Chains A and B, each alone.
Chain A
Amino acid sequence: MISLTSYAFVAMMLFSIGAIGVIARRNIFVIYMSIEMMLNGINLFLVTFARYHFNMDPQVITIMVIAIAAAEAAIFLSVIILLYRSRKSLDTDIFNTLKQGEKS
């Protein structure tokens, strides 16, 4: 029997790796994937605790998250395509037109 702690640990690892990916990487695709990873980390938490408490509500939320993530993927990918068309690049640091002070 794999303990609850192990599940929680894996979920936390997933979330943390995702968070670090969002912060540290510059490629917009990798950031997108990191966000998905964070979502899945959360999903794993929810499912784990659903099993532990014999409560179905978290399962419902998880299904919701997956569905919304799919919809979000459609929008996100199209936005990335538009961004690429305008700047010919996927580097997030280039998209800084909202910067305070001098124009880039």
Chain B
Amino acid sequence: MNTNLLVWIILAPLLGAILNAGFYFYHIKKEKVSELTFSLIGTGTPLISFLITLTLFLRMNEEGIIFKQELFTWLDIDKLHIGMSLLGDNLSIFMSMFVTFVGWLIHIYAIGYMRGDNGFGKFFAYFNLFLASMLILVLADNPIILFIGWEGVGVCSYLLIKFYYGKAENVIAANKAFIVNRVGDFGFILGIVTLFFALGEVDLSFSSIEANIGNASSELLVLSGVLLFIGAMGKSAQIPLYVWLPDAMAGPTPISALIHAATMVTAGVYMVARFHFLYSGIEEIGLLIAYIGAFSALLAAIIATRQTDIKKILAYSTMSQLGYMFIAVGLGFYSTGLFHVFTHAFFKAMLFMGAGGVILAVHHRQNIFDIAKHRAITPIIKFTFLIGVIAISGVPFFSGFFSKDAILAAAFQEGEYLIWAMAIFTAFLTAFYMFRLYFIVFVAPTKHEVKYEYTSRTITIPLLLLAVGAVAAGYLNLPTILGGEHLVDTWLIQLKSNTIHMSHLTEWILMILSVVVAGSGIFVAYKKYANFDIYHPEEETGLIGNKFYIDDIYNTLFVQSTKKVSTFIDKVIDEKIIDGFIMSSSNTFVNIGKKVSMTQNANVRFYAAFMLVGMTCIFIYLYITLGL
């Protein structure tokens, strides 16, 4: 009976989006609707989703059942049967638990952040739609429904990034995000098609794919694995399709928090975990994924050390953390990767929300040195931001430490020492650049410091709640040597993940090593930036400051060349050749028509002469043929 609740997890935010959109239209056309209405709808519906998910989770925990719901048959063509069906198994309920919870907190935060904005209602409509799309993605029972959610989050991110569409750069950033994602989506849909044919055209639900995966030829499976991962690269911002993520910072901060923490970017990791039966069969592709993750993590961390925009630093740190997740899922440690997704959702949402609070306090400045010059005293934000920074840096007893350490141990255990080395170097850089950010924004001495009076509860309460999560989330999956019970790993047992089984000594050594690495990163940052002279700020120069010129290379290689080809096709092939051919042939007909129409000149005498000539011809013909 509770099974029917599954669809309401999705419908609640969707309904919220529709209601908010309706009220917003009423708001701009007829009379004003108060912000309270929008906020109540906008935050109430994610809460409903969260509560339903919680109910289902508790039931599942007690009875050990899996929820399935087929709403209706969507497509039924020959052997292709696609039902609009939802699946609530351990993985999807796990995902939707923190997606709805963190999403809900970000919605509450957005009330305070967006207060007084003209597009308040529109913002919440988009926001709810975003959450609904993400939940469709998570709860889908077959790849086609998953793809609907996949595209839905793409569209919503596009709408939200260009929320302030008055500025050209925001629109460009939104287009960039959308187009880069299209490249990935193209790979994803080709992957689904390949999988469909590889499996011999069976019903496409995840369970039947898993059951039939043994019959498929391995070449096609490798192909579809790669293509599906291209989709994940686009959504989860991995090399080479990561360029949209830093630019996506053009949107308001709650959007960044939602995209980076709970929705959208984690979709790629979730998808790989969802196809765990596919990827565990093709280990070479898994290794490729792990290497791409490691390189992405390293590259993003290196770039982040020289960035000066507070949100871009956080964006690169997201990309870096996603790299960790891909290392884990690539090596077959699905539950470890998802555990990092889970902890990351808390501390990254908190970091972005803290950054948003700081940006509000200093009147929309985003350069960290500018922020420091106009520092506002915001104790709660400072405190929660510090917790977030500690958590992401991998300081012991905070959530990021446990999840990241598990990934490092996994890479070491699999014997991929190169990946391990890159990951541990990235951990050092992460600690370094996150504390650089913290020290400059909150600690470095400044001549100007004001008390900030704006203390909206809707901003601080979610921050504090997330701070609790950022500390406590790690304890759900404590490693055995610290007396943990691997709750998350046990819950996600269906993924048949690899587990860490190394000698306790090695595990201790690895753990101490990563603590030392994180500590040294923090120490270097402290030495360099705790007393940094913010009046002589660092510039984004040099190879790293210019992000290895990769944006410029992409621009020349893809954008400009496409433009040139388009111009060539437009000006030469279309205008000269095709238009020339079409127009000349049509002109010929027009000219012939004009000539012929001269006979229709309404001159009676001409008609008579014409008739006479015709009749004469007929008579001559008859004379010849009849031989008279």
Instruction: Give the interface centre of B600, B605, B609 by most chain A CB atoms within 10 Å.
Output: B605
A12 beta carbon closer than 8 Å to chain B? no
B602 beta carbon closer than 8 Å to chain A? yes
Q: Mark B591-608, 1 if CB is under 8 A from A, else 0.
A: 000000110111111001
* CB–CB A98/B602 < 8 A: yes
* CB–CB B601/A99 < 8 A: yes
Among A72-104, those with CB < 8 Å from B are: 92-93, 95-101, 104
A23 and B612 in contact, given A100-B597, A101-B597 (Cβ under 8 angstroms):
yes
Kindly provide the distance from the CB of A3 to the nearest chain B CB, expressed in whole angstroms. 20
Kindly provide the distance from the CB of A93 to the nearest chain B CB, expressed in whole angstroms. 6
Kindly provide the distance from the CB of B360 to the nearest chain A CB, expressed in whole angstroms. 71
Kindly provide the distance from the CB of A100 to the nearest chain B CB, expressed in whole angstroms. 4
Q: Which residues of B contact A96 (CB under 8 A)?
A: 601-603
Q: Which residues of A contact B600 (CB under 8 A)?
A: 98-100
Count of A-B residue pairs with CB < 8 Å: 35
Could you tell me the distance between the alpha carbons of A96 and B602 in the complex, rounded to whole angstroms?
A: 5
* CB–CB B597/A22 < 8 A: no
**Which of A19, A92, A100, A101 is close to B604, meaning CB atoms less than 8 Å apart?**
A92
Kindly provide the distance from the CB of A15 to the nearest chain B CB, expressed in whole angstroms. 11
* CB–CB A19/B603 < 8 A: no
Could you tell me the distance between the alpha carbons of A91 and B157 in the complex, rounded to whole angstroms?
A: 78
* CB–CB A95/B604 < 8 A: yes
| A28 nearest in chain B by CB position | B604
Could you tell me the distance between the alpha carbons of A98 and B602 in the complex, rounded to whole angstroms?
A: 5
A51 beta carbon closer than 8 Å to chain B? no
Could you tell me the distance between the alpha carbons of A22 and B602 in the complex, rounded to whole angstroms?
A: 15
Could you tell me the distance between the alpha carbons of A77 and B585 in the complex, rounded to whole angstroms?
A: 49
| B610 nearest in chain A by CB position | A23
Q: Which residues of B contact A92 (CB under 8 A)?
A: 603-605
Q: Mark A2-30, 1 if CB is under 8 A from B, else 0.
A: 00000000000000000100111110000
Q: Which residues of B contact A31 (CB under 8 A)?
A: 604-605
Q: Which residues of A contact B598 (CB under 8 A)?
A: 100
A26 and B605 in contact, given A19-B612, A100-B597 (Cβ under 8 angstroms):
yes
Kindly provide the distance from the CB of A8 to the nearest chain B CB, expressed in whole angstroms. 15
| A101 nearest in chain B by CB position | B597
* CB–CB A23/B605 < 8 A: yes
Residues of B within 8 A of A (CB): 597-598, 600-605, 608-609, 612
Known: A31-B604, A31-B605, A95-B604. 18 other contacts (CB 8 A): A23-B608, A23-B609, A23-B612, A26-B605, A92-B603, A92-B604, A92-B605, A93-B605, A95-B602, A96-B603, A97-B602, A98-B602, A99-B600, A100-B597, A100-B598, A100-B600, A100-B602, A104-B602
Show 15 residue pairs from A and B whose CB-CB distance is below 8 angstroms, ordered by the A residue: A22-B605, A22-B608, A23-B605, A23-B608, A23-B609, A24-B605, A25-B605, A95-B602, A95-B604, A96-B601, A98-B600, A99-B600, A100-B597, A100-B600, A101-B597
